[in-house]
Amino acid sequence: MSTLRPIDLRCEHLATAYGLNSSTPRFGWALEGDGIGQYQSAYRIVVTDSDRSTLLWDSGKVASAETQLLPYGGEPPPCDHVLDWTVEVWDEGDRSTGPSAPARIFTGIGDADWQAQWIARYFVLPAGREVPADNTYDNRWQARPADYLRRSFASAESPVRATLYVTALGLYEVYINGHRVGDHVMAPGWTDYHRRVEYQVHDVTDFVAAGENLLGAILGEGWYSGRVGHNQRRAGNHYGGRPALLAQLHLHFADGTSSVVATDEHWQTRQGPICYSDFLMGEMYDARLEHPDWATAPGSLEGWQPVEVFTPDPRAPKLDAARAQPSREVARLPARFSHIAGNGAAIFDLGQNIAGYCELTVATKEGARFILRHGEVLDEEGELYVANLRHAVATDVFIAAGKVVETFKPRFTFHGFRYVELTLPEGTSSDAVKLTGIAIQTDTPVTGEVETGHAMVNQLLSNIFWSQRDNFLSVPTDCPQRDERYGWSADAQVFWKTAGYFMDVSAFLTKWMVDIEDGQSPDGAFPDVAPTKPLNPYRLTPQPGAPAWGDAPIIMAWEHWLRYGDRNFLARFYPAFDAWMEHIGSPNPDFIRRNAVYNNYGDWLSVGPASDRTLVATAYWHRVAELMARIAETLGRTTDSARYGQLARSIGKAFCAEYLDDTGRLTGDTQTAYLLALDFGLLPDPHRLAAAKRLCELIEAAGGHLQTGFLGVRHICPVLSDNGAADLAIDLLLRDTYPSWGFSIAQGATTIWERWDGWTPEKGFQSVNMNSFNHYAYGAVGEWIWARIAGIDSSTRSPGYREINLRPLFDRRIGHCRASYRAHVGTVSSFWRLIDDNTAVWEITVPPNCQAHVELPSGWDAGQPIPIIPSGTHSYHLKRMPA
């Protein structure tokens, strides 16, 4: 009997597809098994209706080893249906374990199926309430109260299937008969609301009953009309002035009939206990204003008013099914009392810097006020440090109703914090409250686990993971705490390979690349950030991208291809990539990138000598030209591939003529200059050795420290390792003096800092104008830890981990490294440990259907040549050879 089994079924990169944006969805699965050299010889995909009564497509038994992104071959899936699909695989001996457990697809609805209308509370300027009011809704930021909406509907019988399609301009929570629908937070996520918004799909069959029912929603401002970004002259209202709801409930009955309940003029609205809720300001909740049955029973209409049906400006956005996982609460951390601050408030410590909010549980009198301020660090006096939040207030307020026990957590705000300053009502002890930190993120599945024998390296890995978790919220943001929170593209591109090890970011990038494309200007310029509007709200077109920022989509697309093997992704966005290359190429006919560089940030936040910005820009131009040649070749565009290959050669020649002198030195003579020139293949072979030697000299001249900024940091350890200086790369990894990764850890960091000198004993805190303690860019070293210390890497020979490069580095200071990566094709693992300075044991697992190429560390020998390794688990006893 076969032991080859399909697992981790995915449709369009998702375990469950909640809505389709294509009539030919793609299927994929991983494989697991117990033998050596197992592979898939055939597969069969079967798609049925969820009750298995209707067959939509049967691929038949297909002789193929392919397991990824196989297109649906039936008639277009019907809208508003729930489908199940299974896959059966046969092994190398034509044996099968039978069909897999089914995975589910909600097909969603198309443009022609939408009957719902956009609805909102009637428009009141400037803060969503009548003025003057002099009531609890007043606040100095003019942040809006949340809007409560509802309508009742009757159902003659209980439906056999009920599906809710819902989205918002802003944020929403939905309720049916008092039951909260789903577990999403910050839904529907951030897009350019003037162009598109994503809708969510929920199975609500169990919530709808025969008789009278009530459908309710709460709306918050979120990214749509709330504060986003650092521009205080236009802090909010980037897309509109009020949140709005669009919802459609489809009811299907046993007799084959159906009905639809949609947002329309029959809905009612009022305000409630959420007095305001804003990403930057925080949330205020007055429990005395609660309406307990507002979403349970129709009740009295006193205080409720008709909604307004309207078309959003400048036009109704396109409605797409959600492309990525929803955002959810992903971790709960108990807050421990630390001490009483100078102002008398209680300081609580989560022990971990997170993005999210706190849940407060209290038993107190009516009207008691609790104030929660959030910060990442404490100052030297033990006070909450919030100066680096700039204009973000990051304060939540809870006013109790006087119930026996009350629990509060915000709905429509989040903060970046480790510490909470809790101001308690007079006479209330810190022992009388329970405080829990709740971390949120787009729920990208965790795919990687790695652990070493070095405590500081393990903490670094944890810091990288948490900075990714805290900043991957609908888009990959720069920081979760201050008045910014943009999707900066260069920060993401240097980190993207690292990100893909820790979490499955395939669907996440699919969604964000659409945001980036939506932000591309008509002349081909990619933006610095996406979505684009809050960065420069006065421009009619987005702020064009700088070198390395505007180049980021091409770089991330190539990483996506290597990790997931998604050729359609490259084809889908190729025209946008081509337009960008034309945009930056035409103004620079001499192949030096002096023009169309916009906010040319250079090697952002480097320490030590600054790298020449035009050199950095030109190096990146060469990199994306080379990648475009590879992408075009992958897509069968041979003419384009040749054209881009020639462009890369011309840029490389011009680069050397402009920046490489007769002694082999580069202009500026900085670490980053040599790193980019070496890693991007800009130097002729005779100069590579000299450049690598000079790089090592510069590191030694800096006291054995790195001096790179965001752009150089990704390359430093890989370049050293690939140029005969692996020991120096590990020295940098383990360094704990400034500047280094270990320095921030020695100061107690639990996430990656934005700046190497965010705080130093000599100078204290860096500038309050830009000093995040949760910023993943410098965590780009994670890819090298995974690819070289653990030794697990993709291969250009067969992307998607069908072929795996295993290239570990053994070091006595690290002692051992155990890593497991759950690729789309299956799980790859590597575990090595040093017995002594000259002996190592290495165990590796290659998933079925895959093979691995091994490159042992310099000076190590297995006693016999290690061939290409087939699937299965393999152990090796290695010896260090005498020098």
Provide the annotated active-site residues.
Answer: 484, 754
Asked if residue 801 lies in contact with residue 68, where contact means CB atoms within 8 angstroms, the answer is no
With contact defined as beta carbons under 8 Å apart, do 821 and 447 qualify? yes
Tell me which residue of 388, 675, 664, 641 sits closest to 548, measured CA to CA: 675
Whether the ω angle into residue 132 lies within 30 degrees of 0, i.e. cis, is yes
Dig out the tokens for 697 from the structure. Answer: 């000299």
Buried b (16+ CB within 10 A) or exposed e, 432-468: ebebbbbbbbbbbeebbebbbbbebbebbbebbbbbb
Q: Do residues 498 and 563 lie in contact, with contact meaning Cβ atoms separated by under 8 Å?
A: no
How far is residue 708's CA from residue 356's CA, in Å, rounded to a whole number?
31
d(CA 724, CA 680): 17
Buried b (16+ CB within 10 A) or exposed e, 81-92: bbbbbbbbbbbb
| The two structure tokens encoding residue 767 | 């500038």
CA 252 from centre of chain: 36
Query: β-strands 318-321, 196-203: how paired?
Result: parallel
Alpha-carbon span 259 to 162, nearest angstrom? 10
Distances (CA, A) of 222 to 173, 272, 329: 12, 17, 17
Spatial contact of 218 and 124, defined as CB atoms under 8 Å apart: no
- Sign of the four-CA dihedral 414, 416, 419, 421: negative
The rounded distance, in Å, linking the Cα atoms of 658 and 667 is 8
CA distance 709 to 755: 9
The CB density around residue 292, as the number of other CB atoms within 10 Å, is: 9
Nearest to 551 by CA among 603, 625, 612: 625
- One-letter-per-residue 3-state SS of 549-603: CCCHHHHHHHHHHHHHCCHHHHHHHHHHHHHHHHHHHCCCCCCCCCCCCCCCCCC
Residue among 377, 370, 372, 374 nearest 355 (CA) = 374
Identify the sign of the CA torsion 707, 713, 719, 721: positive
Q: Cβ(235)–Cβ(227) under 8 Å?
A: yes
For CA atoms 425, 429, 431, 432, give the dihedral sign: negative
